[in-house]
Amino acid sequence: MIRFQVRSPAMSKRFKAAILGGSGYGGAEIIRRLIQHPDIELVRVASVDAVGEPVSSIHFSLEGQTDLRFENLAPAAAAKGMDIVLLGLPHKVSAQKVPEIIATGARIVDLSGDFRLRDAAVYKRYYGAEHPHPEMLDGTFVYGLPELNREAIRKAKYVASPGCFATTIELALLPLARAGLLEGPVEIVGITGSSGSGIVPAAGTHHPSRSNNLKTYKPLDHQHIPEIAQILHAAGAKNLALRFVPVSAPLSRGIFATSFAHVDEKTTVEQLKALYADAYKNEPFVRVPSRRLPEVIAVKGTNFAEVGIQIGDVYEGRRAVACFSAIDNLIKGGAGQAIQSMNLMLGLDERLTLQDTGGTP
């Protein structure tokens, strides 16, 4: 059952929002949730595509749900008078636009990777360009993972929303890092759906080649590797070496990650299970299933994440732990998490418009 809270059109809403880059899959998710938000009025959707056309001309599910149209607006014009601006722009584009938005006084949630990293040299290595504003990488943006930075997000004016793979993998490994148990090499395989590649058609997302195929891409060199390492080190991981292989799968949406870690042999099975149960027992959007391991179908179409572990044998003083995690890449890995942070930044219940539980297969 969907639990969106909708007010009468006659009732004024407390905050105004704009979206820059609203024509993609993530933009569709943001729009559909904000037009039903009890406290947010979505005022503008800026895009360089389909300018002047109704948003439903690209996002068919919004037919009859809103009168909004795509507008070709400069960042300052889009942000003028707004309480918050959500950026669904590509990497390397957001960084160019942000200073102009900051000048308007609006809060920002950026869904790109442009402000997640703290090191400009690492940004250049993984994103292939010099950062135009390296001075803003030193704490201007709060990293928008509520399960890690909830209180900092509440106080933030600018939030860098995490990557989809990064969200999935960090949620799986954070309990170990926080407990000081995550050390040394961690091998990860992450399987992702085609929507993560964006709305623009490409050979890698073309249905005939995608629907019956599995293939890796950017093995050991994905741009989320330094993001994950940065967050886990800050949380308490020691001497961490991440080896991540992403896999393109015949799914339209969803991510499933398996992270292989090793802990000291003195750590018991009971301690590890309790560690994960305690870490997420009060989190509104992270579940640790008690009778099964995580699955994509359980979180598809929702802002929920699932995390689980399987504990293995001891070898040479180290106990193997396989950490499993699943999210919907467009929601908890994108638009939903951005809205969760937006809610926190505006002093609202972080669950607003995000409590729907998906549907059947």
What percent of the chain has a predicted confidence (pLDDT) above 70? 94
Task: Work out the mean pLDDT of the chain and round it to a whole number.
Answer: 93
251: confidence class by pLDDT, cuts 50, 70, 90: confident
How far is 226 from 166, CA to CA, in rounded Å? 9
pLDDT score for 360? 65
pLDDT score for 203? 73
**In angstroms, what CA-CA distances link 248 with 65, 186, 204, 328, 333?**
33, 20, 8, 15, 16
How far is 75 from 108, CA to CA, in rounded Å? 12
Looking at the predicted structure, is the pLDDT value of residue 258 above 80? Answer: yes
pLDDT score for 174? 98
**Between the CA atoms of 57, 59, 63 and 68, what dihedral angle is there, to the nearest 10 degrees?**
-70
Helix H segments across the chain? 25-34, 75-79, 94-102, 120-127, 146-155, 164-178, 207-210, 224-235, 269-280, 335-345
Angle (CA) 292-297-298 rounded to 5° is 55
Looking at the predicted structure, is the pLDDT value of residue 195 above 90? Answer: no
How far is 238 from 246, CA to CA, in rounded Å? 23
Looking at the predicted structure, is the pLDDT value of residue 202 above 80? Answer: no
Express the helix, strand and coil content of the chain in percent, nearest 5 each. Answer: 30, 25, 45
Per-residue exposure over 86-116, b if at least 16 CB sit within 10 Å of its own CB, e if not: bbbbebbebbebbeebbebebbbbbbbbbbb
**How many C-beta atoms surround the C-beta of residue 4 within 10 A?**
15
pLDDT tens digits along 114-149 = 999 999 999 999 999 999 999 999 999 999 999 999
| Selected residue with higher pLDDT from 5 and 345 | 345
pLDDT score for 4? 46
| Selected residue with higher pLDDT from 327 and 359 | 327
- Of 159, 165, 232, the closest CA to residue 193 belongs to 165
How far is 246 from 58, CA to CA, in rounded Å? 29
Looking at the predicted structure, is the pLDDT value of residue 295 above 70? Answer: yes
281: confidence class by pLDDT, cuts 50, 70, 90: very high
Q: Which domains does the chain have, with CATH numbers?
A: 15-161+334-345 (3.40.50.720), 165-327 (3.30.360.10)
How far is 305 from 171, CA to CA, in rounded Å? 8
13: confidence class by pLDDT, cuts 50, 70, 90: confident
pLDDT score for 211? 82
pLDDT score for 92? 93
Helix (H) or strand (E) holding 308: strand 305-315
How far is 331 from 325, CA to CA, in rounded Å? 15
Mean per-residue pLDDT, 157-183: 97
Tokens of 323: 């950490």
Among the listed residues 164, 169, 309, 327, the single catalytic one is: 164
5: confidence class by pLDDT, cuts 50, 70, 90: very low
198-202, 249-253, 299-303, 332-336, range with the lowest pLDDT? 198-202
Known catalytic residue at 164: yes
38-42, 89-93, 248-252, range with the lowest pLDDT? 248-252
> In a 3-state reduction of DSSP, which class is residue 66?
coil
pLDDT score for 10? 43
The DSSP call for residue 23 is S
pLDDT tens digits along 207-240 = 777 788 899 999 999 999 999 999 999 999 999 9
Angle (CA) 80-14-57 rounded to 5° is 60
Which backbone phi and psi does 36 adopt, to 5 degrees? -110, 10
Mean per-residue pLDDT, 258-273: 94
